[in-house]
Structure 1
């Protein structure tokens, strides 16, 4: 322990009264002592940090603590990153907080009698330039995400407000970035800390949440699947409102798995349809860890188990071989239609740029506007010959599958006005306002439920309009 005398006429300072530390000052706790020194550091233009401590051999309690300038100690001016391909280390630009061996510090010692902490050492001078008042708010020890901002940030995140926009709102509230008290990077670090806290227990929390919902309502459906190592690999859920909606509107279902919505890369798999206002409604949802046939079979069976009126008459999906096989196995009597929108979006990749520019519109007209299968087949042959695409392997395959995606083959089938799974794409677009790829599973569910309530409120508004306006 450092040997410095302590004045008998010591006193307890009031934190924040713009004074320098002095030997003999007393503080009721280490936190109060550091707060005082950090405030002094802010007014002086440097950042403070906690350093060494010593403990009592008898009680193992801290009896001495040192607070230092953030440039205390030494670091190399050049930092080294991982090895390059040539096995030569890569130099990175030196950052601002390089330590310079600054000796500025304060030490506090715990009184042998009493609970106070007493300043035993104070060195004021620095060996580096100090920050100007306009920049001092950027120093590390003077930045903190307050409890109020943490709460607001979580609320903003639930509404899917990006971090950069959160900072703009904080700046407006604080009347300038220098008064916010933290930076955008601090907010991002806080968000990462929250995500890390849920890591490893996220699936357990999700399961517990759905099981509690099941306890609240006997008509809430939930089930999940684990692999041989007891790892969570999928689940399906449908609340009472969704199940009732399927009874009324479940003749046609759109199922799409092209939207990843969480940081684990699990696939969000919603089953959607349309109501009497032609608004998108959700019948049930799932998470899948992969897009293999067995995973789809499990999910479709859970959907069938949950829905009161059995399989739909028509299901629209993207062109996925594993999903096609699963639907044929689980829904053998359901008409399976491929998403026209997805297929049309593939044309730019399947045709060379000149052919696409000159002939795509003609091909699309044949697909969309043919009213009978005979008309489509005749017009398709004509446009293929005209565009010199008869030998195109992908188009030949799509022609072989024409009964699964060309509208002319479905004119006799009720489809609730849906020609493709673009209805699902529209649903994804809506939910993207609430969820993002950084969400944990539980975070996703919280936000998804808010979006679902908003979607259902839109239906109430339309019902009200029909009856009263």
Structure 2
């Protein structure tokens, strides 16, 4: 018997018309889960029971990033046997509470989402998928947060037994929760160990399907471990095409659990606002790593190299710019220079003369004026023998 016949024999009318939904990945306000093919439900797929179909759809929903709830049920007259069942997205339907009646702000629990799956009992006693709608009307959860959705928030019998033992031993509730959090965190870390790089690649591939101009490059070492990663989307590429003549480049530390260096490339638009051009994770700060990053920047951007790049006084960056961006003017960041004054001057000298040095850098319109103010400040502070200040003065043309 065909799927259409099964659906007709179940005597269950579809509540909504799904003909207006497109299966294209580029339809506005439609979110299509990016999952593996063997995890995706298919019309005509058979299951031994409703529970089997339910478990399969929950597994698919967890990978896709949404929660599941039961919807309509059709039973056979007289025998009270379920012959048709629907499982829908947890944001199906429309909220009955109006915005003005809400006592506190919460995320919208109902978005009139049409995503669902319907199974019908066949003559052979098996349950067959007859309807599958995969498009969602709302953003989907990430892999890191999907465990917080209602379908996956459950306490196992082992955990319940453990909490009862804690209570019998007079362990406070807050300590019980802390112990369970530590145990759960270790379990999640062990499950994801060695898989995060692969998850990142899958995420980039999914972004590339939605955004044809999304560009990424991943480099691994001899052991197959992630060494460098570079990515840029269509918005950043357009911004670079308009405002990429000047690029500011800096790195950050200790911002992720993997100890990798985050290296964003940014600029300023015509409104004086910061815009992001590209992003990268680097394993180290060697010249080779920075050369790799700059080469990926050149590969991904539609226009020529930047006219000017501003960095801090990192020698590896300086060498990389000389190798990869030979026609780009290289300048040192004034903010980074001023931040180092407190390190190379004693507390009293810094207190008395920092503003004078600051005016030399920020308040001078011409090079001659800046040099004159600098020499005057050195004389007043008696800092003739400060080697760091000498090196800074020699770098003034940069």
Deviations 1:66-107 (A, max 9, x none): xxxxxxxxxxxxxxxxxxxxxxxxxxxxxxxxxxxxxxxxxx
Tell me how far apart the structure 2 counterparts of residues 351 and 375 of structure 1 sit (CA, whole Å). Answer: 23
Tell me how far apart the structure 2 counterparts of residues 398 and 218 of structure 1 sit (CA, whole Å). Answer: 46
Aligned CA distance change for structure 1 residues 46 and 219 (closer, same or farther; 3 Å): same
What is residue 288 of structure 1 aligned with on the other side?
Answer: 282
C-alpha displacement of 1:206: 1.2
Structure 1: give runs of 5+ residues left out of the alignment.
Answer: 1-30, 48-130, 144-181, 405-469
What is residue 320 of structure 2 aligned with on the other side?
Answer: 326
Deviations 1:323-347 (A, max 9, x none): 0111122111211111111110111
1:46 to 150, 153, 168: 168
C-alpha displacement of 1:262: 1.1
Tell me how far apart the structure 2 counterparts of residues 36 and 328 of structure 1 sit (CA, whole Å). Answer: 64
Tell me how far apart the structure 2 counterparts of residues 357 and 37 of structure 1 sit (CA, whole Å). Answer: 60
2:211 pairs with 1:235: no
2:267 pairs with 1:273: yes
- Residue 403 of structure 1 aligns to a residue whose secondary structure is coil
CA contact (8 A) 1:46 1:136 kept: no
* Bigger relative contact order, structure 1 or 2 (CA pairs below 8 A, ≥6 apart): 1
Aligned-residue Cα RMSD (Å) equals: 2.5
What is residue 382 of structure 2 aligned with on the other side?
Answer: 388
CA contact (8 A) 1:313 1:334 kept: yes
Structure 2: give runs of 5+ residues left out of the alignment.
Answer: 1-155
- Residue 222 of structure 1 aligns to a residue whose secondary structure is strand
2:351 to 357, 371, 375: 357
CA contact (8 A) 1:253 1:271 kept: yes
Aligned CA distance change for structure 1 residues 38 and 337 (closer, same or farther; 3 Å): closer
Tell me how far apart the structure 1 counterparts of residues 381 and 163 of structure 2 sit (CA, whole Å). Answer: 75
1:221 to 168, 192, 215: 215
C-alpha displacement of 1:38: 6.8
Aligned CA distance change for structure 1 residues 137 and 342 (closer, same or farther; 3 Å): same
What is residue 422 of structure 1 aligned with on the other side?
Answer: none
2:330 pairs with 1:336: yes
Aligned CA distance change for structure 1 residues 138 and 402 (closer, same or farther; 3 Å): closer
2:285 pairs with 1:249: no
Runs of 4+ in structure 1 off by over 4 angstroms are 31-39
Tell me how far apart the structure 1 counterparts of residues 253 and 346 of structure 2 sit (CA, whole Å). Answer: 28
Tell me how far apart the structure 2 counterparts of residues 394 and 224 of structure 1 sit (CA, whole Å). Answer: 39
For 1:199-218, what aligned pairs fall within 5 Å after superposition? 199-218=193-212
C-alpha displacement of 1:403: 1.2
CA contact (8 A) 2:265 2:277 kept: yes
Tell me how far apart the structure 2 counterparts of residues 191 and 392 of structure 1 sit (CA, whole Å). Answer: 51
CA contact (8 A) 1:348 1:356 kept: yes
C-alpha displacement of 1:295: 0.4
C-alpha displacement of 1:138: 5.3
C-alpha displacement of 1:388: 1.1
C-alpha displacement of 1:197: 2.5
Structure showing greater radius of gyration is 1
Deviations 1:189-220 (A, max 9, x none): 53443333222111122122213323443311
Tell me how far apart the structure 1 counterparts of residues 158 and 194 of structure 2 sit (CA, whole Å). Answer: 37
2:173 pairs with 1:137: yes
1:307 to 282, 297, 301: 301
For 1:179-194, what aligned pairs fall within 5 Å after superposition? 182-183=177-178, 186-194=180-188
TM-score, normalising length: structure 2: 0.56
What is residue 379 of structure 1 aligned with on the other side?
Answer: 373
